[in-house]
Amino acid sequence: QVQLVESGGGLVQAGGSLRLSCAASGLTFSSYAMGWFRQAPGKEREFVASIRRSSGITYYANSVKGRFTISRDNAKNTVYLQMNSLKPEDTAVYYCAASGGVITAAQTGIDYWGQGTQVTVSS
């Protein structure tokens, strides 16, 4: 049974930082591209960042480029999202995703989703 378990969300002031973690189990982690998506109240879920399975090449939404960093530790079966210079518009539920292919903003080809972790940025 595959599980993706996010942690690290919380309440932070604008300009602050948080680091999200997503621990994966039940799958060969190194064989999956990993990504983060988010969904704000009343809005559709959107792509945040992804990292390829072997090359480690990363992709970011324009809205977070330069502020967020995605990384992975294959030995720990964990993917991280370091979020700096947070803004109130970053408030959302953040979801971890795994794909045997490539993760893109189109959200196609996602094999597994986590349950989400809430990030709230106060102004």
Residues 97, 43 contacting (CB under 8 angstroms): no
- Residue 22: what residue type? C
Token pair of 114 as six digits: 């986590």
Mean of the per-residue pLDDT values for the chain?
Answer: 96
Average pLDDT over every residue of 78-87: 98
What confidence score (pLDDT) does residue 107 get? 82
**In this predicted model, what pLDDT tens digit does every residue of 8-29 receive, in sequence order?**
999 999 999 999 999 999 999 9
Determine the Cα–Cα distance for residues 26 and 64; give it in Å rounded to an integer.
Answer: 30
